[in-house]
Amino acid sequence: MSQDLFKNAQELLEKVQAFATESKDELERFRIDILGSKGKVRQLFGGMKAIEADKRKEFGQLANAVKQAAETKLSEIRELIEDKADETIKVPDMFIPVNQQGMGSRHPLAVVMNQMIDIFTRIGFVIEEGPEIETDWYNFTALNTPENHPARDMQDTFYINRMTDPAMLLRTHTSAAQSRVMKDRKPPIRIIVPGRVYRNETISARAHCQFHQVEGLYIDEGVSFADLKQTLLYFAREMFGEHTNIQLRPSFFPFTEPSAEMDVSCFVCDAKGCAICKHTGWVEILGCGMVDPKVLENCGIDSEKYTGFAFGIGIERTTMLRYKVDDIRLMFENDARFLRQFSSTL
């Protein structure tokens, strides 16, 4: 009799030790079955009376071992199941709304520069680039502005090294690339040069030591001032709207003759007069002229055969007028609050 009880208890111990589940419900059934108030452990202790006195202690120990094993099993499996539950929480919820990362946007200067490139390439101008670190010769001498010429004072220059021959400087205008192209190539030449230029100016709301220009140059047989005017009118209407008018005022540049500055009718007030056009109805946006024959000769182009025109458009100026920005420094500060306003422009 007691042998059967021992055997049962031993089997129960093994069963308990071997028990495994991943289900909470099954675990609960196991708990009730083994440790519950009417469970198997209770029954074991209840059966003690039937055991011979000298074996009771041993049986008691066995029953305790079953109880202990069941309790250990229970807490082990509980922990496992809870860990699993934790893991499911760690899986990211794909449907939680996220903070949207703002889309990047082009810088307003790039927007306007790209528009200018688009307008001129449409009528056959090709893009050229020149170095920002330039020689004195290309920036000045070739362009009819030799050393000690008073016109050099028109542009305050950052010299990198004045002692070298030729002297090195940061180009003061994209016209420097004009001389390079004229020297390297034969007409017909029809190019635009978008790029950055530098001048030793005190930084203020109106002036900066770096800014951008788009240079234009067209050289061929029989190019006239009328061609220049028509090209610029086309540009102005494409850029600022089809009702835009232009006016050319006589001016001076050492490398063009005749020279002019071009105003466009104010597109902010429709030429009625406002703060931006200083109540004149006109805003100035570029310098231009017929390439001086001396410049053509300096660069090895026959000035008897060829004529040409050139222009240089200020990109900051155009951008500021276009978007009514009244401080040029904003263009270079990379303040996200400023730049974000252009995120809808591509």
Taking CB under 6 A as the rule, which mask of x and - marks residues 224-263 in contact with ligand PHE? -----------------------------x--x-------
Q: How far is the CB of 310 from ligand PHE (least distance, A)?
A: 4
- Among 175, 179, 318, 319, which residue sits at the site for ligand PHE (rule: CB under 6 A)? 175
Query: Which tokens go with 320?
Result: 């500021």
Taking CB under 6 A as the rule, which mask of x and - marks residues 202-221 in contact with ligand PHE? -------------x------
Q: Which residue's CB is nearer to ligand PHE, number 67 or number 171?
A: 171
Name the amino acid, one letter, at 171. Answer: R
Query: Is residue 258 reached through a cis peptide bond, with omega within 30 degrees of 0 on the bond before it?
Result: yes
Q: Which H or E run contains 325? A: none
Q: How far is the CB of 283 from ligand PHE (least distance, A)?
A: 16
* Helix (H), strand (E) counts: the chain: 11, 10
**E strand residue ranges, 92-203:** 126-127, 133-135, 159-161, 168-170, 189-198
173 touches ligand PHE (CB under 6 A): yes
Query: Which tokens go with 178?
Result: 């004009």
Q: Which residue's CB is nearer to ligand PHE, number 9 or number 193?
A: 193
Rounded-to-integer distance, Cα 121 and Cα 141, Å:
29
Candidates 52-60, 162-170, 222-230, 281-289 — which segment interacts with ligand PHE by CB under 6 A? 281-289
Rounded-to-integer distance, Cα 24 and Cα 128, Å:
75
Candidates 27-35, 66-74, 119-127, 286-294 — which segment interacts with ligand PHE by CB under 6 A? 286-294
Q: How far is the CB of 287 from ligand PHE (least distance, A)?
A: 3
- Among 312, 320, 321, 331, which residue sits at the site for ligand PHE (rule: CB under 6 A)? 312
192 touches ligand PHE (CB under 6 A): no
CB 232 within 8 A of CB 288: yes
Q: Which residue's CB is nearer to ligand PHE, number 130 or number 289?
A: 289
Half-sphere exposure of 149 (CA within 13 A, CB side): 17
DSSP, collapsed to helix, strand or coil, labels residue 215 as strand
Q: Which residue's CB is nearer to ligand PHE, number 262 or number 266?
A: 262
- Among 189, 310, 321, 328, which residue sits at the site for ligand PHE (rule: CB under 6 A)? 310
Q: Which residue's CB is nearer to ligand PHE, number 66 or number 264?
A: 264
Phi-psi region of 180 (alpha: psi -120 to 50; beta: other; left: phi over 0): alpha
CA-CA distances (angstroms) from residue 45 to 69, 72, 150, 230?
15, 19, 117, 112
Q: Which residue's CB is nearer to ligand PHE, number 214 or number 271?
A: 214
Q: Which residues bind ligand PHE (CB under 6 A)?
A: 173, 175, 215, 253, 256, 287-289, 310-312
